[in-house]
Amino acid sequence: MRASDLIGREVRTADDESVGVITDLRCVQDGPVRGTQAALRVDALLVSRHHTGSVLGYDRERQQGPWLIRAVVRRLHRHMQVVPWSDVDSEGPPIRLRRTG
Amino acid sequence: MTLGRCRRLLMFGALLAALTSCVGNAATTGAYSGKAHLSAEAAASALQTAKLAVDSSAKGNLFDSYLEIVLSQAEDDLGSVQQQFDSIQPPNTTEADRIRDRLDTLLTRAASILADIRITARRDQQAAMIKTAAGIPALADKFDTFAEATA
Amino acid sequence: MKIFQVALGILTAIGGFVDIGDLVTNGLVGARYGLSLAWATVLGTVGICLYAEMSGRVAAVTGRGTFDLVRERLGPRAGLANLIASFLVTGLTLAAEIGGVALALELATSVNYLLWVPLVAFFLWLLIWRVKFSYLENGAGLLGLALLAFGFALWKLHPDYGSLVHQVVAPHKPGTERLNSYFYYAIALFGAAMTPYEVFFFSSGGVEEKWTRKDLMVERANVLIGFPLGAMLSLSIAACATLVLKPRGIEVSTLGQIGLPVAFAAGKVAIAFLILGFVAATFGAALETGLSCGYSIAQYFGWQWGKFVKPREASRFHLVVLLSLIGAAGLVLTTIDPVKITEYSVVFSAVALPLTYFPILVISNDPDYMGDKKNGRVMNFGATVFLVIIVVASVAAIPLMIWTRAGQ
Amino acid sequence: MSESARGRVLDVNLHLLDRQIVDRDGEFVAKVDDLEFERGADGTLYIAKIMVGSRALGPRLRGRLGVWMRSIGERLSTDAIPTIDFALVTDIGSEVKVSATRDDLDAAPLEGWVRDHVISRIPGSRHAGE
């Protein structure tokens, strides 16, 4: 499995309702030690209606100017959700969640 | 960007080049007169460039190499004005023919002056060059009058 | 020592500000519109100051060049489209600069410019291959100061300064000119002042010279003092054309015409300086654009780049630079008039500008990268205003080009 | 990037993909063109390798340009796609630092080819600017 396989993949609920597409993978560094550091574990999926502008970083929880760009990107991604990896039932495509809409 | 888009971009570029180029047919006397107006202004510009270069050189302000290049470029500019104007198909009116005759005469005289200046400049005959260039303001005035009449 | 470094940087920025785009566009517009479009040069200069300050700061804090960050913030796909567009514009500018050097040498020697082109391209490559970065940058910038001949000529012309200033501050379109052409040339001047390659070069240069946070003051002084003074030089070119060429109805189509006011007013020594300035300014800009072609591609793909390592350590970078020089020289050798190439390249610069301006604006706000050096409120206000201006100019450029038949 | 109770948190697309990889000596190696995961016993995904080169980048570009870039990569090399073990990563910031040298990693075969067949043949390639 590659990062590019997951990013952009559609996410659907158990009752086949579309949640959006994966825009990013949130990792936590708490896996088994590899080399000198703990491995990065995929902890959650960031799911939004579309991909545009996500990698600019304005859709995340942080203060980042300028106001105009932040407002536009936040609006594009106002439906963004953080879906825990533990909610994933099957990896698809499309990714199927355990929960219903 | 996909290859298809690249191709579209190239076609767009070609279209742009075609749209921004200038030669063509003049369907009406008005359009023809407009093109004649632009040609006259460009020709006057070439003449005035040569005059400015000769004046500077006469004051000892310009290197010979610089002078020669400016003169030959002015001559080239005039040549392309002449060639472009001649390649326009005039509409079939007496007014258009009159415009064409008048501008052709002026352009021919301009070409001959610029050639004379270039020749004298390359032969280092400064006095003769200055004398020939002294004829430029009168001719440039004629172009200006023509340009105003066709504006 | 610090003072010397700052002074050197400022002088380099002044001499390096003007390139073939500024020479041709300012001469052409000055002869046609007087100083009634000087506002576009002023606007472009404020823009390039903001843009260069941001990208210089980003380079000093993160050690990353422009295209490295463009790909990170736009993703690989939009980043690649951006790379292709920016590379084409920079390559076109490189061709224009090489043509400019050759035309200036033609004026000095009356040897046809096409014969100079291969020699110029070879010499450019040789310098990029062998000479240390700071010598290239400072050498070309300092020699470019010879263009002050325009300022000297302006002084010798004893103009009515009040009327010139009035033309600048109360712009008034000449009655015989059409409004669409007026704005087309406004965009051309804006693009000439705010050329994207200047920023690739500036930020990559910061990495080449291993800037750190400590160098930020020097970097700011270079930009905020050097660029406006460089713009004054641009305006003096336009003013000379306004005073000498415009009254005679001369339409600028060659580099020789742009220098004529200096000959007319100031004489042989000034012309000698002027030609030296032409050669240095265009040659310096050709070095910058040639390197920028390599920087942009290498940074996108993550290859080793730069002159701070041996050429064999950055082999693909040097190969791209070499091929770009060959390609650009080839374009000039097709006998397309370099002045025409320049006229188009400045407009396409304006078209491509948002592609790199936008990511730099975003990165310079990124708290992860910039920490306490991220943009302040005032900076962001100015930068956002310019984002809007740049986008408008970019969108309007091509329709205006078609509508005005490239400014006819 | 932030710290949670369990460890550092980072987003793959925002903080890792497309970043510059820098070797032990500060030389540029490649970009993080893609990442390969390894599956733990419970189905959890861990980042295992960094994938580099045009064959890794191609699929991320989608469209015909992606296919084109990938096929150029395939023409140039038929070996496996070059990867860098994530265990070698020592720091993730504005660049991704690895503990090996560029030559050890052998992540950019084309760089070596151009060096040996083109650049090294030009006099002066072993000297930095003077």
Q: C273: Cβ–Cβ under 8 A, 6 or more apart, which residues?
A: C146, C147, C148, C149
Q: Residue B14 has what pLDDT?
A: 65
Which chain C residues are within 8 Å of D118, Cβ to Cβ? 315, 319
Give the β-pairing of A18-28 and D20-22.
unpaired
* Cα distances (angstroms) measured from residue B111 to each of B5, B90, B105, B126, B137: 47, 22, 10, 19, 14
Size of interface C-D (CB pairs under 8 A): 98
Q: Region C23-47: what's the mean pLDDT?
A: 94
Q: B118: Cβ–Cβ under 8 A, 6 or more apart, which residues?
A: B68, B71, B72, B75
As a three-state string, the secondary structure of D29-92 is EEECCEEEEEECCCCCEEEEEEECCHHHHHHHHCHHHHHHHHHHHHHHCCCCCCEEEHHHEEEE
Q: CB–CB of D49/D83 below 8 Å?
A: yes
Q: Which residues of C82-111 are buried (b: 16+ CB within 10 A; e: fewer)?
A: bbbbbbebbbbbbbbbbbbbbbbbbbbbbe
Model confidence band, residue B19 (pLDDT cutoffs 50, 70, 90):
low
A68–C387 C-beta distance less than 8 A: yes
Name all domains of chain D by residue range, CATH numbers in brackets.
2-121 (2.30.30.240)
Q: How many whole angstroms separate alpha carbon B54 and alpha carbon B121?
A: 9
Strand partners, A27: A42, D10
Q: How many whole angstroms separate alpha carbon C125 and alpha carbon C132?
A: 13
Q: Residue D4 has what pLDDT?
A: 58
Q: Region B69-83: what's the mean pLDDT?
A: 95
Torsions phi, psi for C407 (to 5 deg) = 85, 15
The whole-angstrom distance between C300's CA and the closest CA on chain D is: 8
Closest-CA residue in chain B for C270? Answer: B61
Does residue C250 carry a pLDDT above 90?
yes
**Which ipTM score applies to this complex?**
0.87
* C301 close contact with B: CB closer than 8 A: no
Q: How many whole angstroms separate alpha carbon C270 and alpha carbon C153?
A: 8
Structure tokens at C401: 């080009």
Helix axes C338-363, C377-403, angle to 10 degrees: 150
Count of CB atoms within 10 A of residue B30's CB?
Answer: 12
Q: How many whole angstroms separate alpha carbon B69 and alpha carbon B149?
A: 33
Q: Which residues of D61-75 are buried (b: 16+ CB within 10 A; e: fewer)?
A: beeebbebbbeebee
Q: Residue C14 has what pLDDT?
A: 83
Nearest to D94 among C303, C310, C369 (CB): C369
Domain ranges of chain A: 3-52+79-96
- DSSP letter for each residue of B89-140: ---SSHHHHHHHHHHHHHHHHHHHHHHHHHHHHHTT-HHHHHHHHTTHHHHH
Q: How many whole angstroms separate alpha carbon C316 and alpha carbon C297?
A: 9
Give the β-pairing of A18-28 and A10-12.
antiparallel
* C334 close contact with B: CB closer than 8 A: no
Which chain B residues are within 8 Å of C244, Cβ to Cβ? 52
Q: Which subunits have 3 or more CB–CB pairs within 8 Å of chain C?
A: A, B, D
Mean confidence (pLDDT) of chain C: 91
Q: Region C123-136: what's the mean pLDDT?
A: 89
* Class of the domain covering A3-52+79-96: mainly beta
The whole-angstrom distance between D12's CA and the closest CA on chain B is: 24
The enclosing H or E element of A27 equals: strand A18-28
Q: Residue D76 has what pLDDT?
A: 78
Which chain B residues are within 8 Å of D63, Cβ to Cβ? 1-2
The larger pLDDT score, comparing residue D104 to residue B47, is at: B47
C251–B42 C-beta distance less than 8 A: yes
Name all domains of chain B by residue range, CATH numbers in brackets.
30-149 (1.20.120.660)
Does residue B1 carry a pLDDT above 50?
no
pLDDT tens string C74-112: 889 889 999 999 999 999 999 999 999 999 999 999 999
Q: Which of C130-144, C185-199, C215-229 has the highest mean pLDDT?
A: C185-199
Nearest to C71 among D18, D52, D115 (CB): D18
Q: Which subunits have 3 or more CB–CB pairs within 8 Å of chain B?
A: C, D
The residue assigned the tokens 């240390």 is: C132
Q: CB–CB of C35/C164 below 8 Å?
A: yes
A69–C381 C-beta distance less than 8 A: no
Q: Region C254-267: what's the mean pLDDT?
A: 95
Model confidence band, residue B48 (pLDDT cutoffs 50, 70, 90):
very high
Give the β-pairing of D7-11 and A81-84.
unpaired
Which chain C residues are within 8 Å of A62, Cβ to Cβ? 367
At least 3 CB pairs under 8 A between chains C and A: yes
pLDDT tens string C356-373: 899 999 989 988 888 888
A28–D7 C-beta distance less than 8 A: yes
Q: Residue C220 has what pLDDT?
A: 85
Give the helix, strand, coil percentages of chain B, each rounded to 5: 80, 0, 20
* D113 close contact with B: CB closer than 8 A: no
Q: Residue D42 has what pLDDT?
A: 83
Name all domains of chain C by residue range, CATH numbers in brackets.
2-403 (1.20.1740.10)
Q: How many whole angstroms separate alpha carbon B33 and alpha carbon C236?
A: 36
The larger pLDDT score, comparing residue C245 to residue C55, is at: C245
Does residue C255 carry a pLDDT above 60?
yes
Torsions phi, psi for D97 (to 5 deg) = -90, 135
Q: CB–CB of B88/B23 below 8 Å?
A: yes
Q: How many whole angstroms separate alpha carbon C45 and alpha carbon C53?
A: 12
Does residue C308 carry a pLDDT above 90?
no
Q: CB–CB of A6/A22 below 8 Å?
A: yes
Q: Residue B63 has what pLDDT?
A: 92
Q: Residue C216 has what pLDDT?
A: 85
Q: CB–CB of B73/B52 below 8 Å?
A: no
Model confidence band, residue B2 (pLDDT cutoffs 50, 70, 90):
very low
C291 in helix, strand or coil?
Answer: helix
pLDDT tens string A25-81: 999 998 888 777 888 999 999 998 877 777 787 777 666 778 888 888 888 888 888
Q: Residue B13 has what pLDDT?
A: 65
Q: Which of C121-125, C210-214, C311-315 has the highest mean pLDDT?
A: C121-125
C76–D60 C-beta distance less than 8 A: yes
Does residue D33 carry a pLDDT above 60?
yes
pLDDT tens string D44-94: 899 999 999 888 898 888 778 888 888 888 887 777 888 999 999 998 888
A81 in helix, strand or coil?
Answer: strand
Count of CB atoms within 10 A of residue C214's CB?
Answer: 8
Give C 223-252 residues with CB within 8 A of chain B.
Answer: 244-245, 248-251
Q: Region B35-61: what's the mean pLDDT?
A: 94
Does residue C327 carry a pLDDT above 90?
yes
Closest-CA residue in chain C for D10? Answer: C368
Q: Region C175-202: what's the mean pLDDT?
A: 89
Q: How many whole angstroms separate alpha carbon C357 and alpha carbon C341?
A: 23
Q: Region C229-240: what's the mean pLDDT?
A: 94
Q: Residue D64 has what pLDDT?
A: 82
Model confidence band, residue C344 (pLDDT cutoffs 50, 70, 90):
very high
- Cα–Cα nearest to A84, from D44, C325, C293, C334: D44
* D86 close contact with A: CB closer than 8 A: yes
Does residue C151 carry a pLDDT above 90?
yes
A67–C383 C-beta distance less than 8 A: no
